[in-house]
Structure 1
Amino acid sequence: MVLFYERFYMFKDFYSFFKDLWKNRKLICTFAANDFKAKYAGSFFGVFWAFFTPLVTIGVYWFVFEKGLKAGMTDDSVPFILYLVTGIIVWFFFSDTIMTATNCFREYSYLVKKVVFNIRILPTTKLLSNLYTHFFFIGIAFILTILYGFMPSLYSLQLIYYLFCLIVFLTGITWITASIQPFFSDISQLISVVLQVLMWGSPILWSINAFPEQYHIMFKLNPLFYIVQGYRESFFGTGWFWQHRGMSLYFWGFTFLMLILGTIIFKKMKPHFSDVL
């Protein structure tokens, strides 16, 4: 009976988190827009850097891996530049959101100390702030794929589903990292190391078919694998998300675990935020 009540209150808190996000959706959108503008407010070119820096990164990777290392065409006969762009746009959004949302409680410490302000929305605010550049690069990816002859189709609508997957996954992860950061500031450095491993452990610059089949399961344990491959299937029209039932079940199981852990950790840490910030 005790276990039943514990689970009941755990899912009640979980529901309460999303209810708060929906209730404060207008405030979240306003905060996200202001955060995006404020991020580059002190520089001469402003938000230009939000788009220019990733474009340079794409250009460097393309030159090094296709022209220098002769990566050339992928296993699916997709030009390397398209393979790179359709995967790396997921990575840009994921890594930028993790890094900015992790520090949100410290960055907005003056709001955290206000009893009347609902600080639950702060990680989501950072997430939505990064959506502006993500939408821009989705547009760039569509332009490039069209130029190479891959026209938008019904498969393209799957991007809505995979973007939703990415947002929910990031929500759970950032609730955890943001709640820990005020008490363990080194988590930002730890995340930087983990992101390096994830970057090269995700099929962004390489194809899984380049590895022996016995290693495939190891790569598929990475939740980003599901999303990156899903983005590519959406752009190139090579498959539907319901064709990957096993991967879908694994991804959503892992994601809901992160969401539940995030709600528990936030609830336990929140009363002590004011003492350490």
Structure 2
Amino acid sequence: MKEVITLFKEQIKNIGIIFRISKYEDMASYQSHYLGLVWEYLYPLIQIGIYWVVFGVGLKHGASMNGVSYLPWMVIGITPWFFMNRSVLDASKSIYQRVGMVSKMKFPVSILPTIKIVGNLSSFWTMLVFSIIIGLLNHVTPTIYWFQWIYYFFCMIMLLLALGIFSSAVSILIRDFHILLQSLMRMLFYLSGVLFNFETDAFPAIFARILQINPFFYVVSGFRQSMVGNVWFWQRPTLTIVFWMIVLFFLLVGSHLHYKFRSRFVDLI
């Protein structure tokens, strides 16, 4: 637990550096593209359009989900997923990509995964505003449950921080881990309730309960419960406890691996 506390202290102490570097990386990533940072927002919108045509119009024939049109239901779920998916993959290779910085100067290595997470926030906020607009255009009215977004946003950041510190360390120790993680995230896209409602669709009850253990499902369904549902997070005590136990597990294991091998990262790479 001491290593987890040290991890959070480093994040708070270097919060200024995190935001400055993440802003610089955003600008540097697209400086050679004609549209520049527009691609940060254009690519997710294109993906949403494809999924809506294939699943909303094609497979579901425009059917509603819990009394809500499929488009806003899908968009509010796919918004946190896009952010989590990209942040997890970027964070997993954050230390390996910055080996030059790590080897040449005294640098708080633990903030590298956080930089990747913060760097993806700009597109997340844009997508969230877009999902709200889509909801309002489809007769989704604001309710008191919308305040739950604050809680589920905190859950999402904590999950990403835990997975980021864990996967970035394991990617150094096991070079094939990042490739495996990419395949796992592709699979989790379909198993996290982003496109299908496991709680009401024709899924066996046991199968649905197993899928609900997935922490990504907890965040995705939580954002939906906030916007189009009427369930508070404390009304799902089992899922909430399981989620935070998973987050704590990855925080403990990830921070332990990070601080145990940090002095050898350059040699291992």
TM, length-normalised to structure 1:
0.92
* Pairs within 5 Å for 1:1-277: 11-208=1-198, 209-210=200-201, 211-277=203-269
Query: Which stretches in structure 1 are left out of the alignment for 5+ residues?
Result: 1-10
8 Å CA contact 1:175, 1:262 repeated in 2: yes
8 Å CA contact 2:62, 2:69 repeated in 1: yes
Distance (Å, rounded) in 1 between the aligned partners of 2:243 and 2:2: 23
Distance (Å, rounded) in 2 between the aligned partners of 1:179 and 1:46: 31
Q: Secondary structure of 2:104's partner?
A: coil
Q: Percent identity?
A: 30
Q: What displacement does 1:77 show?
A: 1.7
| AA matched with 2:194 | I
Q: What displacement does 1:183 show?
A: 3.3
Q: 1:217 to 1:237 in 2, by over 3 A?
A: closer
Instruction: Provide, for residues 213-247 of structure 1, a one-character-per-residue CA deviation record: whole Å limited to 9, x for no partner.
Output: 22221111111111111100111142211111111
Instruction: Provide, for residues 138-160 of structure 1, a one-character-per-residue CA deviation record: whole Å limited to 9, x for no partner.
Output: 00011011111112222111111
Q: What displacement does 1:66 show?
A: 2.1
Q: Secondary structure of 2:63's partner?
A: coil
8 Å CA contact 2:73, 2:228 repeated in 1: no
8 Å CA contact 2:65, 2:73 repeated in 1: no
Instruction: Provide, for residues 102-157 of structure 1, a one-character-per-residue CA deviation record: whole Å limited to 9, x for no partner.
Output: 11112211211135211111100100001110011000011011111112222111
Runs of 4+ in 1 over 3 A off after TM superposition: none
| AA matched with 2:33 | S
8 Å CA contact 2:7, 2:255 repeated in 1: yes
1:7 counterpart residue number: none
Q: What displacement does 1:71 show?
A: 4.5
Distance (Å, rounded) in 2 between the aligned partners of 1:266 and 1:258: 11
| AA matched with 1:110 | G
Distance (Å, rounded) in 2 between the aligned partners of 1:76 and 1:185: 43
8 Å CA contact 2:113, 2:164 repeated in 1: yes
Aligned residue-pair number: 267
Q: Secondary structure of 2:173's partner?
A: coil
| AA matched with 1:120 | S
Instruction: Provide, for residues 237-274 of structure 1, a one-character-per-residue CA deviation record: whole Å limited to 9, x for no partner.
Output: 42211111111111111111111111011112211111
8 Å CA contact 2:87, 2:120 repeated in 1: yes
Q: What displacement does 1:44 show?
A: 1.6
Q: 1:13 to 1:115 in 2, by over 3 A?
A: farther
RMSD: 1.3
Distance (Å, rounded) in 2 between the aligned partners of 1:41 and 1:264: 37
8 Å CA contact 1:111, 1:119 repeated in 2: no
Q: What displacement does 1:30 show?
A: 0.9
Q: 1:175 to 1:237 in 2, by over 3 A?
A: same
Query: Which stretches in structure 2 are left out of the alignment for 5+ residues?
Result: none
Distance (Å, rounded) in 1 between the aligned partners of 2:122 and 2:51: 23
| AA matched with 2:243 | F
TM, length-normalised to structure 2:
0.95
Deviates more, 1:109-118 or 1:249-258: 109-118
8 Å CA contact 1:74, 1:207 repeated in 2: no
